[in-house]
Amino acid sequence: MRVLRPTAWEERHHPGLWIWVRVLVGIWLLILAGILCQGDRWWGLALLLPAALHFFLALRLGRSIERRRGAGAPPANPLAP
């Protein structure tokens, strides 16, 4: 049995979209943790770990896209600098 990387499916199916999805989910988890902690529900701090995981996986997916595209290749988005 071959073990795939966690983002192997995301790399094949619209990787740019999945970066945004992971970042937005991470932001939502941070906001939700803040709301829960403000209401004296300190278990909301447990949401910080999944948020960090989403940010890390989005960063890793972005780096894998850059590595696959090559160092000198133009960006996929024509509006990007």
Model confidence pLDDT, tens digit, residues 2-19: 555 656 777 788 888 889
Rg value, the chain, Cα: 16
> Across all residues in the chain, what is the average pLDDT?
82
Question: Predicted confidence band at 70 (pLDDT cuts at 50, 70, 90)?
Answer: confident
pLDDT at 52 over 60: yes
pTM of the predicted protein model: 0.75
Asked whether the predicted pLDDT for residue 36 surpasses 60, the reply is yes
73 versus 48: the higher-pLDDT residue is: 48
